[in-house]
Amino acid sequence: MKILGISSFYHDSAASLIANGKIISAVQEERFTRVKHDASFPKNAIKFCLEYSKLNASDIDYFCFYEKPYLKFERLLETYFSFAPYGFKSFRTAMPIWVKEKLFQKRNLVNELIKLGAKKDTANKVLFSEHHLSHAASAFYPSPYEEAAILTLDGVGEWATSTIGIGNKKNQIRIEKEIHFPHSLGLLYSAFTYYTGFKVNSGEYKLMGLAPYGDPIFVDKIFDNLLDVKSDGSFRLSQKYFDYCTGLKMINHKFENLFGERSRKEGQPITKFYMNVAASIQKVLEYTVLKICKNIRKETGQKYLCMAGGVALNCVINGKIVKEGIFDDIWIQPAAGDAGGALGAALLSYYEKCRTIRKNSNLSKDHMKGSLLGPSYNNKEINKELEKVGAKAKNYSIDNIVKLTTDALANQKIVGWFQGNMEFGPRALGNRSIIADPRSSKMQKNLNLSIKFRENFRPFAPSILEDKLPEWFELENISPYMLLVLNLNKSKLKKIKNRNFNDLHELLAQKRSVVPAITHVDNSARVQTVNKETNPLYYKLIKSFYNKTKCPILINTSFNIRSEPIVCSPTDAFKCFMGTDMDVLVVGNYIMYKNLQNKNLLKDYRESFELD
């Protein structure tokens, strides 16, 4: 049975194909359109999934959408009526879109699928899953567990913002508890994202990265005024400080008055005040999620936990759950946001239709194929694209590619690394990555300002050989999807004198460990463990770097610049390479050096990036 899952029309549209319960492919629409967080119908993603498996749309048994539009519309109407007459402006803005488009989403989906080659009776094949059930399915079914508790946390689906469920040995998912809109940890965190000057639904990870620079001095103020958390972890938000129910903003003037400062505007300096705000809401979120997790273990008795939803991408919290030892192990869906809903919807449909049993015998191995589920290019296709864009590239054996790349990295060069299938989800995992030497004290600044064009406080993640993890980090839990923050071992840290936590520039200049470029201000790092079974080529590269330098770690950041999606094609990669201060580009068996490229072409790409 072949099932295509679809998520779209909010943010991070995606498509995923499964066949007889096995995950075949999955990809976000943004990677093709080059529009970050693209919400449009994922026609390009669907085309890829079909072409990758040599299928036509007419070959698909079922199409499953990741949420139920009518339930969402019900929530919208009830919310507006509850707060009336407030919110009329927002109501007037939203209603024409719903009446014209979203209420007839099934018809629109069918029409789009027919354009892609589906049969005219496709309406009988279109299914709908609930938003948080899709998240739960995306977390449980690919996990290595036969039975587990499931926690989903995000902004809002139809009504639910948080759910607790159980996945059993018969592959059934049962939702036990829900918290409904407007009470939402995801929306609470997004409100603070907005307040600190970052973009909602994309800047939450910036807030998380900023938090260690501040002091959590507003924790009591948040608990006393904004958030009421019960002993079991259930919670309620005081709506008088927020504007997301009826307005077109996340917060109102009462929120700003509570903290005594106006919302930071994008581009304004990040003062100590906003660092303290970030530290405070991060601490509040950690406290609340840990309380929820402890109650889940107590009430369900489950040894394992699966997680999905946007809040599950807060890898600091995930690391705390592991460190607390609440569960024997946890597994987090690498595409935990709405994109992953496409995969969850497809898997849920399959197990509901087929009632088959999924047996897991290896608790260390999941079913996500390393989340390497997107497009790939063979060397013939790569050469064709590189010739078209005017690249000066040389072809080598893969062993020589590894050697040349290792030499470049050891000489402090910044390398664009493009190999194999593209990653599904927000993290680059070694196939669409920018990589560099973590031992350099200047590399974090260089990467942020000259390559990524982003805020200089942002930390970088380490990719480490899985078998070397215990030597470098305090916990030994593998983290193949870069979803756990772990502390470096004390033996790798350096003593710092006169730590001035009020001066961001001074903090950034401090060499905190033997690998300063991946060591955050609190001596932590968002770790990716790499093994040779899941990604043999990336493992081989890191091992080669280790053999040369005795350092089993590379900086790994996504192959893109600020406000752009991760690169998808060799052409995307070359454009990013030429428009930034990247030194070397490796695509398949081809390697390119910046100083050997056409100078006029280099000038054109630089100018186009500046215009963008």
Same domain? 468 vs 519? yes
Residue 243 lies in a domain: yes
The chain-wide mean pLDDT, for the chain, equals 92
Residue 553 lies in a domain: yes
Structure confidence at residue 286 (pLDDT): 98
Same domain? 501 vs 596? yes
* Domain interval for residue 59: 2-131+339-371
Count CA atoms closer than 13 A to 577's CA, side-chain side: 35
Q: How confident is the model at residue 355 (pLDDT cuts 50, 70, 90)?
A: confident
Report CA Rg, the chain: 24
Q: CATH no. for residue 200?
A: 3.30.420.40
Distances (CA, A) of 147 to 166, 199, 304: 7, 37, 8
Same domain? 522 vs 555? yes
Nearest to 139 by CA among 163, 110, 119: 163
Residue 144 lies in a domain: no
- Percentage of the chain beyond pLDDT 90 is 79
String of DSSP letters for 109-125: HHHHHHHTT--TTGGGG
- The H or E element containing residue 293 is helix 272-300
Q: How confident is the model at residue 506 (pLDDT cuts 50, 70, 90)?
A: low
Instruction: Give the lowest-confidence range in 75-79, 98-102, 189-193, 349-353.
Output: 98-102
Same domain? 452 vs 355? no
Check: CB of residue 128 under 8 Å from CB of residue 349: no
Averaged pLDDT for residues 226-232: 96
Averaged pLDDT for residues 28-39: 96
Distances (CA, A) of 188 to 90, 156, 285, 463, 557: 20, 11, 9, 31, 27
Same domain? 390 vs 364? no
Three-state DSSP string of 480-511: CCCCEEEEECHHHECCCCCCCCCCHHHHHHCC
Q: How confident is the model at residue 504 (pLDDT cuts 50, 70, 90)?
A: low
Same domain? 429 vs 562? yes
Amino acid at 427: R
Same domain? 440 vs 541? yes
Q: CATH no. for residue 598?
A: 3.90.870.20
Structure confidence at residue 356 (pLDDT): 74
Same domain? 433 vs 311? no
Instruction: Give the lowest-confidence range in 144-158, 292-306, 375-389, 502-516.
Output: 502-516
Count of domains observed in the chain: 3
**What's the pTM value of the predicted model, to 2 decimals?**
0.94
- Which residues, 6 or more positions from 352, have their beta carbon under 8 angstroms from its beta carbon? none
Could you say which of 347, 371, 395 is where a domain stops? 371
Same domain? 30 vs 114? yes
Structure confidence at residue 247 (pLDDT): 67
Same domain? 527 vs 392? yes
Q: How far apart are CA 420 and CA 376, in angstroms?
A: 5
Same domain? 208 vs 310? yes
Averaged pLDDT for residues 343-370: 84
pLDDT tens-digit map of 358-382: 766 566 689 999 999 999 999 999 9
Residue 140 lies in a domain: no
Residue 168 lies in a domain: no
Q: How far apart are CA 440 and CA 427, in angstroms?
A: 23
Residue 239 lies in a domain: yes
Same domain? 34 vs 86? yes
Residue 179 lies in a domain: no
Residue 173 lies in a domain: no
Structure confidence at residue 467 (pLDDT): 96
